[in-house]
Amino acid sequence: MKAAVVIDFDAPLTIEDRPIPAPAPGQVLVRIESSGLCHTDIHAARGDWPVKPTPPFVPGHEGVGVVQAVGTGVTVRAIGDRVALPWLGHACGHCDHCVSGWETLCEEQQNTGYSIDGGFAEYAVADADYVVPVPDGVAPQDAAPLTCAGVTTYKAIKVAHIRPSERVAVFGIGGLGHLAVQYARLVGGTVIAVDIEDSKLDMARDLGADYVVNAAETDPVAAIEELGGADVAVVLAVMPSVFESAFAALRRGGRLVCVGLPPESDGPMKLPIFPTVLKGISVIGSIVGTREDLAEVFELHALGRTRVISETRKLDDVNEAIDDVLTGRTNARIVFEL
Ligand SMILES: NC(=O)c1ccc[n+]([C@@H]2O[C@H](COP(=O)([O-])OP(=O)(O)OC[C@H]3O[C@@H](n4cnc5c(N)ncnc54)[C@H](O)[C@@H]3O)[C@@H](O)[C@H]2O)c1
Ligand SMILES: [Zn+2]
Ligand SMILES: [Zn+2]
């Protein structure tokens, strides 16, 4: 099978011909159809974060495909099922986080495309209990971006507890942001989209944003203050300074939802204590979403409530695709067709 492999944090990915893996007990073998390129895959390939994956590994945590074979003991999935292989590739199932609906916080978790080989390949094996069924009404090309960008922003909007009419500022209208805008609208928010590319802001308007701010031309804090300040700021951009701007744009009682994960070398975000206390600000970290969150994301999409904007590439062009994400030359999400 063809696979895109990280062999070194300082080198481009290599396309390799590898044997098709066999499903171990409890696993499924999936023939991947579509696989989205998340900015996290770029962080993974470069070893950007404090906890690093171990090369060689296959990135990709938005793989969607059809079950081709099942390992012994698998009863929950069957050959022919279409499934998604999300970031949460495995959790222990019995710690306090797992049993209280917070499996995404499990300390024993394994992550697809990071600690286990992911979806940038024609085939992948996965824990049968942690793949998520893709309903018939959701095309694989749409299901792929929903598998991380969708579930992550859906969860970020859930944890912000938005009341209808609250102002929600979304910083970064890329793969995650184009879906965040839509979930914020679905819960009744007034949406302010912030990016540095006019093309992304045009897309945000098209997807329902009420206001747009080009942070390369206008100070986003002043622009949002002029609108009365944000009740919620969801940060999806990859620079600590954007988190600080988002914090500054909050009104009293505001919630800062941190989702973007800049490289460790970019340093921390600095939060001033005085306004945090006086304004009663909550700072919330939000990491992907559960299997149930993803099932809800697919259901909403099957109902026609969300639109996925993506462009198709070949896996052979993975390095060009990464360059295009880094330079903003893409529309929302790149999806590899396999
Ligand atoms: N917490 C989680 O569970 C989770 C899940 C998935 C991804 N992530 C992280 O989220 C981040 C975003 O991922 P993505 O795939 O959407 O990336 P992306 O590259 O598609 O989107 C980033 C967007 O930020 C915009 N941007 C750049 N500078 C900006 C600025 N100064 N102000 C506002 N916008 C700016 C870019 O133009 C781009 O549209 C990455 O760090 C990724 O690792 C986190
Ligand atoms: Zn992701
Ligand atoms: Zn657990």
Residues 146-163: pLDDT tens digits? 999 999 999 999 999 999
Range list of H helices, the chain: 39-46, 96-99, 140-145, 151-159, 175-186, 198-206, 220-226, 240-248, 273-278, 291-302, 318-326
Instruction: Tell me what pLDDT residue 291 has.
Output: 98
Instruction: Tell me what pLDDT residue 272 has.
Output: 97
- Indicate whether 331 pLDDT > 90: no
Asked if residue 159 has its Cβ within 6 Å of ligand 1, the reply is: no
> How far is ligand 1, taken at its centre, from the CA of residue 180, in Å?
11
Atom of ligand 1 nearest to the CA of 285: 1
Specify whether the CB–CB gap between 46 and 142 falls below 8 A: no
Backbone phi, psi, residue 303, to 5°? -80, -5
Atom of ligand 1 nearest to the CA of 176: 16
Using CA positions, which residue lies closest to atom 20 of ligand 1? Answer: 174
Give the Cα separation of 203 and 187 in Å (integer): 20
- The residue assigned the tokens 């011909």 is 17
Asked if residue 236 has its Cβ within 6 Å of ligand 1, the reply is: yes
Asked if residue 150 has its Cβ within 6 Å of ligand 1, the reply is: no
Quick: pLDDT tens for 230-258: 999 999 999 999 999 999 999 999 999 99
Instruction: Tell me what pLDDT residue 277 has.
Output: 98
Average pLDDT over residues 102-122: 98
Residue 172 corresponds to which tokens in the numbers above?
């970064």
Atom of ligand 1 nearest to the CA of 38: 15
- Indicate whether 184 pLDDT > 90: yes
Residues with Cβ–ion distance below 5 A, ligand 3: 91-92, 95, 98, 106
Instruction: Tell me what pLDDT residue 251 has.
Output: 98
Instruction: Tell me what pLDDT residue 84 has.
Output: 99
Instruction: Tell me what pLDDT residue 59 has.
Output: 98
Name which of 152, 148, 192, 185 is nearest 170 in CA terms. 192
Give the Cα separation of 10 and 156 in Å (integer): 32
Which of 195, 286, 331 best tests ligand 1's pocket when mutated (most atoms within 8 Å of CB)?
A: 195
* pTM, entire model: 0.98
Instruction: Tell me what pLDDT residue 155 has.
Output: 99
Please tell me what DSSP assigns to residue 103: G
Share of the chain above pLDDT 90, in %: 99
> How far is ligand 1, taken at its centre, from the CA of residue 194, in Å?
11
Instruction: Tell me what pLDDT residue 329 has.
Output: 87
- Indicate whether 17 pLDDT > 90: yes
Give the Cα separation of 325 and 224 in Å (integer): 27
Which of 103, 238, 297, 310 best tests ligand 1's pocket when mutated (most atoms within 8 Å of CB)?
A: 238
Using CA positions, which residue lies closest to atom 43 of ligand 1? Answer: 40
Residues with Cβ–ion distance below 5 A, ligand 2: 38, 40, 148
Instruction: Tell me what pLDDT residue 249 has.
Output: 98
